[in-house]
Amino acid sequence: MWQKIRRFGIEIYAFFTTPFVLKNCLGMVVVITGLLVITFWWLQCYTNHGESVQVPSYVGMNFREAARKARGRDFGVAISDSIFVPGEPPGQIVSQDPKPNSRVKEGRTLYFTVTKNNPDILKLPDLKSGDDYEIYSRRLTRIGLKPRIVARTADPNVGPNTIIDVMYKGDTITQKLRFGGVPVEMGATIDFVVSEEVTLTVNIPDCLCHTLGEAKFLLQTTELSIGTILKDATITDEENAYVWRQSPKYDPNGTMRKGEQIDLYITQDQPASCR
List, run by run, the mean pLDDT of 10-residue segments along the chain (275 residues): 62 58 64 71 56 85 90 88 82 90 86 86 86 92 90 82 92 87 87 83 90 91 88 92 93 86 93 85
Fold assignment, 201-274: Trypsin Inhibitor V; Chain A (3.30.10)
What pLDDT is stored for residue 83 in this prediction?
84
Spatial distance between the Cα atoms of 80 and 110, rounded to a whole number of angstroms: 9
Burial class (CB in 10 A: 0-12, 13-18, 19+), 43: exposed
Spatial distance between the Cα atoms of 237 and 234, rounded to a whole number of angstroms: 9
SS3 229: strand
Element (H, E) at 192: strand 189-196
The answer to whether 177 and 127 are in contact (CB under 8 A) is yes
Spatial distance between the Cα atoms of 44 and 40, rounded to a whole number of angstroms: 6
What Rg, from alpha-carbon coordinates, does the chain have? 45
Give, to the nearest 10 degrees, the angle between helix 19-47 and helix 2-16. Answer: 70
List, in order, residues 6 or more apart from 59 with CB less than 8 Å away.
Answer: 93, 94, 95, 96, 100
What pLDDT is stored for residue 234 in this prediction?
92
SS3 189: strand
Tell me whether strands 189-196 and 146-154 are parallel, antiparallel or unpaired.
parallel
Spatial distance between the Cα atoms of 241 and 87, rounded to a whole number of angstroms: 65
Domains 53-115 and 201-274 share a fold: yes
What pLDDT is stored for residue 244 in this prediction?
93
In DSSP terms, which residues pair with 172 in a beta bridge?
167
CATH architecture for segment(s) 121-196: 2-Layer Sandwich (3.30)
Total Cβ atoms within 10 A of residue 58: 21
What pLDDT is stored for residue 152 in this prediction?
86
Burial class (CB in 10 A: 0-12, 13-18, 19+), 160: middle
What pLDDT is stored for residue 136 in this prediction?
92
Q: What pTM was estimated for this model as a whole?
A: 0.45
Note every long-range contact of 49-56, with CB atoms under 8 Å and residues 24 or more positions apart, other chains counting. Answer: 51/105, 51/106, 52/103, 52/104, 52/105, 52/106, 53/103, 53/104, 53/105, 53/106, 54/101, 54/102, 54/103, 55/96, 55/98, 55/99, 55/100, 55/101, 55/102, 55/103, 55/104, 55/108, 55/110, 56/100
What pLDDT is stored for residue 10 in this prediction?
60
CATH number of 53-115: 3.30.10.20
In DSSP terms, which residues pair with 94 in a beta bridge?
none
What pLDDT is stored for residue 43 in this prediction?
61
Spatial distance between the Cα atoms of 207 and 271, rounded to a whole number of angstroms: 13
Spatial distance between the Cα atoms of 197 and 195, rounded to a whole number of angstroms: 7
Q: How many degrees, rounded to 5, is the angle at CA 167 between CA 166 and CA 168?
A: 130
What pLDDT is stored for residue 46 in this prediction?
54
Domain boundaries, the chain: 53-115, 121-196, 201-274
